[in-house]
A and B are shown apart, each in its own frame.
Chain A
């Protein structure tokens, strides 16, 4: 780097975080349209859920999502630790987050498949939007898990600016996914109101 650059301290988040913010904005809007679709179909329908389809369970999903969103704590702490160059702390925090996220993903996949034994997206409009909204959320969780796995693997080989930026961006991704999962759960459970 030029001498000129070496003396600079970075002010503010790097470009990677901005790029991730753009991705989150676009994905959040996509989920926004799914949620909008859910309520549009709901208010156009006399019966919701459509006849023949049961309402979703409340307690277990609430608990599991509650556990998932706690993973934002280690993700946030990892983003802070990596800025201070504390590589081992970062790795441990990420591993902790990954354990929670993998646990949730395993339950979520199992639960989704179980539900498909009782009803199908092809039954009616309610189950169509239900499975698409929930499935999209699980897909984003799965991608998040892959991102953390990749990050941990990269960090086994040391710390560079690129990996520091990646840690911050992926932490931000996870905060967004956690918030999204909570919102999706709220939407799907609102049928009980």
Chain B
């Protein structure tokens, strides 16, 4: 028995079906990650197009590029798309799915079929929401959709129903992903990877997953109440009948604030793996950074009403939330200084991924500093609902979420494709994007302070806002050019880039120990782990090679995966994983039918469609992974 024989057995065992059916039935986390990646790129383009039209309309006062009805749909869809259909699925669905099992030395997620279901539900929810645009009924009350504007009285028709149902539908996908990540990170780590030896990427994704799991129900409840108020005649938000307008806002922001940490914490995880690779140094103050990543999400559940400081809440309430908002800053400042000190004490190589991380730190700090200003409540009450806020959150979201995404695309491109990207166009793409985003978002601070409210489809001349808006629009076009350069670079590199090998960066984590692209089964031998930087533990890697040659911990007799204890990481059992299955896509289809029937108010049809869901679940649980093979 040699290494080659074991690898060949594993390859046969884990091989996917060929062709289209193989993709439709896949449960392989890498394929699912790629499906997420391409789908979110398409939706990112849609959200970007919406932004460009908005910026074109606002470039000068009193323009008529689009009218108010279209404009309201554009800014609503832009927010909904970028948050629910780009950042969350790109960080969790694409990066998280592809990389998490690799980083912990596992062969797949804890629930591979549920992972596939997450993707198909996500895709269905995207199609569902965008159908509204094509039939002229796109949501138009803003991404936070305040009542009573979003009630049936002031927004009749289907637009807000698309919003409510689409949000719930999309939330199911994210909740399933979060549950999958939590169990995977806690139970599927390679034996020996105790909780304190897992990469910081895993801490970040664990934190974001807990956040998703506990935050989404609040949004779901809110959307259910609004759907019922609009279509069944309940009175959750109807003041005349004992309901409350602010109930919507509280429930929304109880989700909405943790959501913003969910947006950026996975990106922090990406950054904290790029930094060790390009400084060849373990991250400074690792335990502090790990705890900070968990804390920022936890504390983030306690600050939501700072989005509501102008609503007339009692002063005591306002003061509490201002204080909590102050505290949530600390885990972020810890991480920023830890990263900077890693840069300085390590041997920094400013390749494209690290450039994006440097840009991320700059933008995140800029946005974070304006965020700190908001804890002065009177100041918040002056600038809330103006372009100052738009500047703040775009510096944070674009800077702290999108920059690491771009850096991560470059960083893991060799691992996923087996080829190197072209470095010079990469650096150029960074600088264009950096200049473009600063030109786009910085003037928004000024124009907001000068009184320009948000969500205005146009503005009067004579208020001094025209030249800033023009600069912002130019910045938006420049940013688009930079993103196009980035994407073209990756596409060309895919076809013509030089071969990368397994470990072009001398990276720190386990994905760099296997081939590029990885084999279907990820690891031929379940790796031995002694630290969070396993690729730098050369003795362990040597031992792995010996074990593979001897067939120890190769687990090639089924679709086998070790399960370990959540804290200490000792081996608990070996489980048999499910493989290609049609049930995830079928169940997603059944769920889609339910949501469409709800939109159309065909309540009886909904009951039948629910039966369809039950049937799909029966089919799903009818296939039990085989317990033993000869």
> CB within 8 Å of B: which residues of A?
1-2, 4-5, 8-12, 14-15, 18-19, 22-23, 25-27, 29-30, 32-34, 37, 40-41, 44-45, 47, 50, 121-126, 128-129, 132, 146, 150, 160-163, 166
Contact = CB atoms under 8 A, between A and B. Distances in A.
B574 A41 contact: no
B574 A2 contact: yes
Contact of B235 (A1, A14, A34, A125): A125
B576 A1 contact: yes
A5 B572 CA distance: 10
Given A15-B110, A128-B228, A5 B555 contact: yes
B610 to A, nearest CB: 11
Contact of B242 (A9, A30, A125, A166): A125
Q: Please name the 9 residue pairs, one residue from A and one from B, whose CB atoms are nearest each other, closest first.
A: A125-B242, A22-B179, A5-B574, A128-B234, A30-B217, A122-B233, A125-B243, A162-B624, A29-B217
Contacts of A123: 235, 241
Given A1-B628, A1-B629, A40-B247, A22 B555 contact: no
In this complex, the member of A1, A50, A163 whose beta carbon has the largest number of chain B beta carbons within 10 angstroms is A1
Contacts of A12: 565, 572
B91 interface: no
B236 A129 contact: yes
Interface stretch (B142-150, B194-202, B218-226): B218-226
A76 B556 CA distance: 36
A19 B175 contact: no
A25 B229 CA distance: 27
B357 interface: no
Interface string B230-265: 001111101001111001001100100000000000
B573 A11 contact: yes
B368 to A, nearest CB: 28
B557 A1 contact: yes
B618 interface: yes
Nearest to A47: B242
B217 A2 contact: no
A41 B247 contact: yes
B217 A15 contact: no
B627 A160 contact: yes
A74 to B, nearest CB: 22
A119 B576 CA distance: 52
Contacts of A132: 224-225, 228, 234
A36 B364 CA distance: 34
B575 interface: yes
B288 to A, nearest CB: 27
B221 A128 contact: no
B319 interface: no
A17 B253 CA distance: 31
By size class, the interface of chain B is: 35 or more
A15 B216 contact: no
Contacts of A122: 232-235
Contact of A124 (B114, B187, B216, B235): B235
B116 to A, nearest CB: 15
B560 A5 contact: yes
B338 interface: no
A19 B556 contact: no
Given A1-B560, A8-B571, A125-B236, A33 B251 contact: yes
B186 to A, nearest CB: 7
A173 B490 CA distance: 47
A122 B553 CA distance: 62
Interface string B571-615: 111111000000000000000000000000000000000000010
B111 A125 contact: no
Contacts of B235: 122-125, 128
Given A1-B629, A4-B574, A33-B251, A50 B221 contact: no
In this complex, the member of B214, B238, B242, B552 whose beta carbon has the largest number of chain A beta carbons within 10 angstroms is B242
26 contacts: A1-B557, A1-B560, A4-B552, A5-B573, A14-B573, A14-B575, A15-B187, A15-B563, A19-B110, A19-B114, A26-B175, A26-B213, A29-B218, A33-B218, A34-B221, A37-B221, A37-B251, A41-B242, A121-B228, A121-B234, A122-B235, A124-B242, A125-B238, A125-B244, A126-B242, A128-B229
